[in-house]
Amino acid sequence: MTKRTEQQEIDQIGEGILTAKLAKYVVNPLENDFGLDFTVNLTETDGKDSYQNVEGDHFFIQLKSSNRFDKDTDSVYTDLEVRHLEQYLKQPIPVILSIYDHNQSEIYWRVIQEFVWDILSDRTPNWRSQQTVRIRIPRSQKITNYDRLETAVNRTQNRINRDKNRTLSIGEGVAFSPTDFTELEKQKENDRLQYRGHTLLLAKQQFESGDKDAARQSIAEIVNANYDDEATVKALFIQILMRNLADGEDAIEIVELANEAKSVAKDLDMDTDQQIATIYKHVGGLFVILEKRSEMLANDLFQSTIESDLLENKIIQESISHDLLVGELEAISEINSALSEMLDSNEYYAYAVCLSPIIDYLSHRRFLHINRQTMDFDKSPDEIETPKSIQTIEGISDQTHSIVEQAEQLADYITDRETEFNLRKSIGLYYYNSIKPEKADQFLTEAYNIVKNNENRRLSEDTKSILEDIKKRKNPYDYSTYDTSSDTNVTDLTKQALEMQGFDIDLESPPESNEYDDSLDYELDLMAHQAVTDADPEDYYRHCEHLHLAYNPSPVGERLGIVSFGSKYLWCQHGGLMNGLDLDETFERFHTTYCDGCEQHCPRSDDWELTEAYANEQANDPDFVKAMNQFENSLMPEYSRSSDNQ
Q: What is the pLDDT of residues 357-379, one digit of tens each?
A: 999 998 888 887 777 666 554 44
pLDDT at 622 over 70: yes
pLDDT number for residue 298: 62
d(CA 339, CA 386): 37
pLDDT at 97 over 90: yes
Q: Work out the average pLDDT over 55-72.
A: 83
pLDDT-wise least confident of 71-80, 175-184, 252-261: 175-184
Residue 105 exposed, middle or buried by CB count within 10 Å (0-12, 13-18, 19+): exposed
The whole-chain average pLDDT of the chain stands at 78
Q: DSSP H helical segments within 140-247, as ranges? A: 146-165, 178-208, 212-223, 230-241
Return the pLDDT at 637.
Answer: 52
Say what the pLDDT of residue 524 is.
84
| 266-321 per-position pLDDT tens digit | 988 888 889 999 999 999 998 888 887 777 766 565 555 444 444 455 555 566 66
CA–CA gap between residue 257 and residue 277 (Å, rounded): 9
Interval 451-470: pLDDT, tens? 887 666 677 788 888 888 88
Q: How far is CA 555 from the centre of its chain?
A: 34
- Sheet containing 106-111: which strands, arranged edge to edge? 26-29, 38-45, 52-66, 95-101, 106-111
Q: Which long-range contacts (CB under 8 A, 24 or more apart) does 261-267 make?
A: 261/233, 261/236, 261/237, 264/228, 264/232, 264/233, 264/236, 265/233, 267/228
pTM given for the model = 0.54
| DSSP code at position 396 | -
DSSP per-residue letters across 506-532: -TTS---GGG-S-HHHHHHHHHHHHHH
pLDDT of res. 38: 86
